[in-house]
């Protein structure tokens, strides 16, 4: 009888360890999946769209940050969008931009910057909170900075 109790206890402990191990593994997969969704979420460039008059119009773009993309500011506007995947207001603006891609002015490139993994850029522009937007020139110098644009149209209205 003592052997059965000991054997039952060992089986129970092994079952608990297996359950805890599997639960932790799923959480890691969820975190990795969320990070991948964030990193892959914005490489959206608009090509031609048709406006209300039926004419073809080239819209601007919403894409991931890369230093070489600042050169676009030579002929247009570049805005860095410091966003975090866990930030509700960042997600709301991201969604509004994606739903209104054709409304991005042709001379505007919005570059998404991962707030959690961009310490150097945050320091350069004095960014201390997510959902901060920074308009920059072709050399990466700050033209203006603001926080909390809830929509694409409010973001566009802030551009100098």
**Longest CA pairwise span in the chain (Å):** 87
For the chain, what are the domain ranges?
Answer: 41-158
Is the separation of the CB atoms in 36 and 28 below 8 Å? Answer: no
Tell me the per-residue pLDDT of 135-147, one tens digit each, with 9 for 90 and over: 999 999 999 999 9
How far apart CA 21 and CA 83 sit, in angstroms, is 32
pTM of the model: 0.66
pLDDT of residue 64: 94
Please determine, for residue 21, whether its predicted confidence score (pLDDT) is greater than 70.
no
- Domain 41-158: CATH class, spelled out: alpha beta
CA distance 82 to 78: 13
DSSP bridge pairs for 133: 81, 146
Residue percentage of the chain with pLDDT more than 70: 64
pLDDT digits (tens, 9 = 90+) for 92-144: 999 999 999 999 999 999 999 999 999 999 999 999 999 999 999 999 999 99
Residue 65 DSSP SS3: coil
């Amino acid at each position: 009888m003592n052997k059965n109790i000991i054997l039952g206890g060992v089986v129970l402990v092994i079952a608990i360890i297996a359950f805890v191990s599997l639960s932790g593994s799923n959480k890691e997969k969820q975190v990795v999946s969320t990070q991948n969704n964030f990193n892959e979420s914005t490489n959206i460039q608009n090509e031609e769209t048709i406006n209300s008059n039926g004419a073809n119009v080239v819209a601007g773009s919403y894409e991931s940050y890369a230093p070489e993309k600042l050169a676009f500011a030579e002929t247009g506007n570049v805005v860095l969008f410091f966003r975090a995947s866990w930030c509700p207001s960042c997600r709301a603006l991201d969604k509004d931009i994606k739903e209104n891609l054709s409304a991005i002015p042709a001379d505007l490139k919005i570059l998404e910057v991962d707030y959690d993994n961009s310490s150097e850029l945050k320091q350069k522009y004095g960014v201390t909170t997510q959902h901060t937007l920074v308009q920059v020139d072709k050399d990466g110098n700050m033209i203006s900075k603001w926080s909390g644009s809830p929509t694409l149209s409010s973001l566009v209205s802030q551009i100098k």
